[in-house]
Structure 1
Amino acid sequence: MLLRARLFLPLALSGLLGACATPMAVSDSAGPVEVGIIGINDFHGSLEPPRQAVNVADGKGGIVPVPAGGAAWLASAIDSIRARHPLSMTVSAGDMISASQLASSLYLDEPAIGVMNRIGVDFNAVGNHEFDNGQQELLRKQNGGCEKFTAKEPCALEKFTGATFKYLAASTKRADGSTLFPATGLKTFGSGKSAVTIGVIGLTLKGTPNLVNPTGIEGLTFADEADTINAAVPLLKAQGADAIVVLIHEGGRTKGDPNPQGCENFAGDIRPILDRLDTRVDVVVSGHTHWAYVCDYAQINPAKPFLLTSAGVYGELVTDITLQIDPVAGRVVSKRAENVIVQSVPYTSTRGPLGNTPLFPQFQPRADIAQYVAKYVEASKEYTQRPIGKIDRPAPKNEGAEGGAGGPLGNLIADAQLGATRDKGAQIAFMNPFGIRAPLVPAADGTLTFGDIYLCQPFGNNVVTESMTGAQIKAVLEEGLDDTGPKQALAPSAGFEFRYDPARPAGDRIVSITLEGKPLDMAKTYRVTVNGFLGLGGDGFSGFVGKPDTVTGPTDIDALESWIKAVPVRTVPQEVRAGVVKG
């Protein structure tokens, strides 16, 4: 039973990790030194509980959803892990900031940095979202100060002193070859014969330019991940590193029953990187996919005996990694890891109320961080609690295997963007499912607040309308279904439907496309609206780039608000607009 495996994980992992977890011979002159590595990733400024659950299989064919997350609860979970490790360090694998809750985003994610300072993070690898407000603003996050680099006012509530932890950016290069932040870091524990040093390499994915506004990374390049890591390993070893930990903002996904401790059928863009890594790497803390896993990678590739971990998203989990290090031989002799669910408070989901479960520990909020967060939450209430309209039912966000499809919520957003750009001649709109961050869960009377829609659409992208032929529209839909990266079936606006067969060859998976019930004319030109991220080729949709007659419209969140409040109660569309067919 998976619940049993989770509850008795240290024992279960002794078998799971095989030779990698079995202590090897150590020097007689000094025993092994235990060091804890506490790992998080993709926090995204989640100051408050994100109203999401970690799903765990119950071993009986069902699922146990565990309400999790919130900065103060995350702090308590980390403290509890630290208490088990007299020697420890805390690390993050990127996207600590941006695409954040409104209480953090309104204040340029200064409170997210403040939370992580108080938690005691040591190192954070840059992720793609760290660049959302540009490299100068990111440098301010490290160095502090109140210089203004965006439309928002810095230091609005208090002076910002910067991160006390170190950003790492081994693969992010300036024109002169220097890195934007240091490539590596070192932390030493103990002294004399028992001293051990851990070397840390931090980096984002090579594909970052496809995920951010080009103006924010002007003059920067992003090098190959494996080459970057392999170049850093011998340098850290030369500086005395006994263990090598990689923090990389790239990841994968598992299949099968939900299991934050699992590694079943692991796949993703990180796999080719891992298979090329120097064998002296001991641990890879990953992120980006918002998926939770713990892998003994030697079970996948026996030549690469490192641990691979990810703690999901939004501070809903934290990874407890234990290393036993021989200080004389200068190497790790055993390692193990488990993901700890940060069970916090009940909430109401799209399926109704969700309470706590006694199957997992429930953490209490750490008082100092709860008080710090409350200051920013209170200051943001003017924005978050403003009613914007009503919907007739909850609009769920697709998760898991369905995460690449927009569903009713994607349809609603596409309809909103079409409605906002009809005056630009728009006939069709598309929404990328990965850009939908949270479900819309209205109050009992159907009311939504600005805070609700902001959780769903936190990016502030302007929508753009451009001219595309039917053939170009088909080609861009095929891009979402190809074999490069995770698949996304773009969510279309009302009147547009397409069907696809995943078993067909890449580039030829679209089976049919209709607009208002008639086949799309491949030679005809249509006016198409997308968010500005897609318009710049984001998520690999290069087919939207450089199209003629492009005009800019309102922000995505303004479009959604206007659409919802335009009628007394907005109906959430339920029809299948992007559907799968077989054979």
Structure 2
Amino acid sequence: MPATSPAHHQRRRRRTNRLLVTAAGLVAAGALAAAALPGSASADETKGAPAHSGRYQDVQLLSFNDLHGNLEPPAGSAGRVTELQHDGTTKTIDAGGVEYLATHLRQAREGNRYSVTAAGGDMVGASPLLSGLFHDEPTIEALNQLDLDVTAVGNHEFDEGAAELARLQHGGCHPTEGCYTDEEFGGADFPYLAANVLDDRTGKPVLDPYWVWKKNGVKVGFIGVTLEATPDIVSAEGVKGLSFKDEVETIDKYAKVLQRKGVKSIVALIHEGGFPASSAYNYDCDAPGAGDGISGPIAQIAENVSPQVDALVTGHTHNAYVCTVPDPAGKPRMVTSAASFGRLYTDTTLTYDRATGDIARTAVKSANHVVTRDVPKAPDMTALIDKWNTLAAPIGNRPIGYITGDINRDGTESPLGDLIADAQLEYARKLDAETDLALMNPGGIRAPLTYAAKAGEGDGVVTYAEGFTVQPFANTVNLQDFTGAQLIQILKEQVSGANEAAPKILQISSGLTYTLDLTKTGADRVVTDSIRLNGSAIDPAATYRVAANSFLAGGGDGFPTLGQGGNDLVGEDDLTALEQYLTANSSADNPLAPPKADRITVVD
């Protein structure tokens, strides 16, 4: 049975005391209106009356997902959200940064005596240098200070394996790098939940499967799972010795466990997501004419998870939505996601019925809110960032290149994707001059390169920290031989097999061109006759030397053919390749212009 240790309680008490001090002086912000049900506690009742007054009690559920260690405000498009206006137009808003997230959450909690904060996974992993350089200890410290109560694991929590995840949960200094400060790392004050991640040796979850929040007789259970397909998108070493089980079957199993324990109000934290019809965070996907609301894996999960579960907090796709999806009994159920990188948070009102112990689902309300940067910074978060920046600055502030403008990662083919592929090709040719081309997975490009100056640099300067933020995985650059037929198959796997529903378009090095016809379906979307290397058609019988990062070279991201290459040669990490390319091809006097992104012709 999941338990909470005395040390955990002591850390939580210390954290509560910190919050009482650091929250002082913050301006109150309006929270969601309480559901107007007979017997629900009024504002006066919550101030003076006994906490158990009335049959119905509103519980505030604050949630976010996919923070990925973004403690400082994310740069460029990664730090903006789209807002739908009343006249149907949209505008973008700068958002994110843990100093602002802390202020917004603390303001939202004011006046809500029953408030719990949960997350949908990927709190760490693929993090900027400020967190990633220290194996995400800074982010865990920040989440402790944010008063996070519980989170599911995401796929990125396994980037460094189960042992490292256990260290983040329980504490202790890094096994090879030791302690980064004078104090030993204390671990997370909140539980990570991993109900569907089993240790192959024991057959049991590697961390607690569920957790119960309790206050004055109100009980809400949380079950945490990550996507079953985690092994397909994490390095083999990261998931070694683990099995990932079906999300629906696992949630249903532990919903029954919680029901037997008398916990009838249940929230599932699911690191799997969907795709809304609009990119605007405030799009009403339940409005008449809004279509199916959300599509993708989470829609099927939401339609099949037991009706015993009252709400689903999701993530993974980095999209924003607040939708109702009917459960198997046909009853509407809230499904939410708060985009990524701390740009949004979700405020959900769960109306708890003390007579039944369940959630009165007809009264559930929810909305996403922007983590704007026009509020006071939380002083304790500023101090935390300053502490870790002092340690990271000697490494992070070193210039590695110069650019003439923003180099973005957006689009089917992106300028930054082209640049990274070119960097890996140039690096690979230093190892083997016969290398023909390079391929880069779009999911491995975590942020744009921005022209505007940050503290300690000038306009157009690319620092090591910025490069690290773009490519934080420490994948090696691997060289392999493939036949022309295999190369054609690799390109077709972008839009077929595991990638048919949600294509993953590889970023390609200079010299490789082809046409992507989106009017067709499946593998036919890659027009075989159009594939050219330096102007010549691909010969199915010829051998081609291909560079790709180690994740792709292992068949990751739904590219099984990339795991079948021969004559392997392993180079240094991909960030080294990017740094060497920028250093060799740019200078303060001759900065690098963004590539044109004209290698893939898209027909739609």
Within a 5 Å distance, the mapping from 1:8-407 to structure 2 comes to: 30-51=54-75, 52-60=79-87, 62-148=89-175, 152-156=177-181, 158-175=183-200, 176-190=202-216, 195-256=217-278, 258-263=280-285, 264=290, 265-298=293-326, 303-333=330-360, 334-344=363-373, 362-398=374-410, 402=411, 405-407=412-414
Structure 2 residue aligned with 1:532, among 543, 550, 558? 550
Q: How many residues align?
A: 539
Cα displacement (A) at 1:471: 1.6
Amino acid across the alignment from 2:203: G
The worse-fitting range, judged by mean Cα deviation, of 447-456 and 436-445 is: 436-445
Q: Deviations over 1:279-312 (max 9, x none)?
A: 12111000111111101113x9872521100111
Amino acid across the alignment from 1:340: H
C-alpha separation between the residues in 2 aligned to 1:182 and 1:325? 25
1:459 corresponds to: 473
C-alpha separation between the residues in 1 aligned to 2:127 and 2:99? 16
Question: Secondary structure of the residue that 1:437 maps to in structure 2?
Answer: coil
**Contact (CA 8 Å) 2:344, 2:368: kept in 1 or not?**
yes
2:491 corresponds to: 477
C-alpha separation between the residues in 2 aligned to 1:463 and 1:48? 29
Structure 1 residue aligned with 2:573, among 539, 551, 555? 555
Change over 3 Å in CA distance of 1:262–1:479 after alignment to 2:
farther
Structure 1 residue aligned with 2:505, among 483, 489, 508? 489
C-alpha separation between the residues in 1 aligned to 2:182 and 2:466? 23
Question: Secondary structure of the residue that 1:185 maps to in structure 2?
Answer: strand
Q: Deviations over 1:472-525 (max 9, x none)?
A: 112111111125452121111001011111232312221121111122222211
2:13 corresponds to: none
Gaps of 5+ in 2: 1-28, 41-51
**Contact (CA 8 Å) 1:513, 1:520: kept in 2 or not?**
yes
Amino acid across the alignment from 1:341: V
Does residue 427 of the first structure (1) align with residue 436 of the second (2)?
Answer: yes
Cα displacement (A) at 1:146: 1.7
Gaps of 5+ in 1: 1-6, 15-20, 345-361
**Contact (CA 8 Å) 1:481, 1:502: kept in 2 or not?**
no
C-alpha separation between the residues in 1 aligned to 2:54 and 2:189? 33
Q: Deviations over 1:390-442 (max 9, x none)?
A: 123320120xxx3xx23111000100000000132321111111221111113
Cα displacement (A) at 1:59: 4.0
Identity level (%): 37
**Contact (CA 8 Å) 1:420, 1:554: kept in 2 or not?**
no
C-alpha separation between the residues in 2 aligned to 1:81 and 1:395? 36
Q: Deviations over 1:343-396 (max 9, x none)?
A: 11xxxxxxxxxxxxxxxxx32211112111210012111122111121233201
C-alpha separation between the residues in 2 aligned to 1:218 and 1:435? 21
Question: Secondary structure of the residue that 2:321 maps to in structure 1?
Answer: strand
Q: Structure 2 length normalisation: TM-score?
A: 0.85
C-alpha separation between the residues in 2 aligned to 1:500 and 1:216? 33
C-alpha separation between the residues in 2 aligned to 1:260 and 1:45? 24
C-alpha separation between the residues in 1 aligned to 2:298 and 2:304? 10
**Contact (CA 8 Å) 2:500, 2:522: kept in 1 or not?**
no
Amino acid across the alignment from 1:244: I
Q: Which ranges of 4 or more aligned residues in structure 1 deviate by more than 6 Å?
A: none
**Contact (CA 8 Å) 1:30, 1:328: kept in 2 or not?**
no
C-alpha separation between the residues in 2 aligned to 1:102 and 1:545? 29
Q: Deviations over 1:501-551 (max 9, x none)?
A: 123231222112111112222221101111111112221111210310111
**Contact (CA 8 Å) 1:202, 1:246: kept in 2 or not?**
yes
**Contact (CA 8 Å) 1:107, 1:156: kept in 2 or not?**
no
Q: Structure 1 length normalisation: TM-score?
A: 0.88
1:409 corresponds to: 416
**Contact (CA 8 Å) 1:9, 1:338: kept in 2 or not?**
no
2:5 corresponds to: none
Q: Deviations over 1:209-235 (max 9, x none)?
A: 111121222211000000000111111
Cα displacement (A) at 1:155: 3.7
1:350 corresponds to: none
Q: Deviations over 1:114-171 (max 9, x none)?
A: 01111111111111100111111110111111250x5x44444631011110110000
Q: Deviations over 1:455-480 (max 9, x none)?
A: 21111111111111222112111111
The worse-fitting range, judged by mean Cα deviation, of 282-291 and 418-427 is: 418-427
Amino acid across the alignment from 1:76: T
**Contact (CA 8 Å) 2:495, 2:501: kept in 1 or not?**
no
Change over 3 Å in CA distance of 1:315–1:554 after alignment to 2:
same
C-alpha separation between the residues in 1 aligned to 2:227 and 2:279? 28
2:532 corresponds to: 514
C-alpha separation between the residues in 1 aligned to 2:121 and 2:447? 20
Q: Deviations over 1:240-263 (max 9, x none)?
A: 213110001000111235234543
C-alpha separation between the residues in 1 aligned to 2:112 and 2:88? 36
Change over 3 Å in CA distance of 1:392–1:157 after alignment to 2:
farther
Question: Secondary structure of the residue that 2:160 maps to in structure 1?
Answer: coil
**Contact (CA 8 Å) 1:282, 1:305: kept in 2 or not?**
no
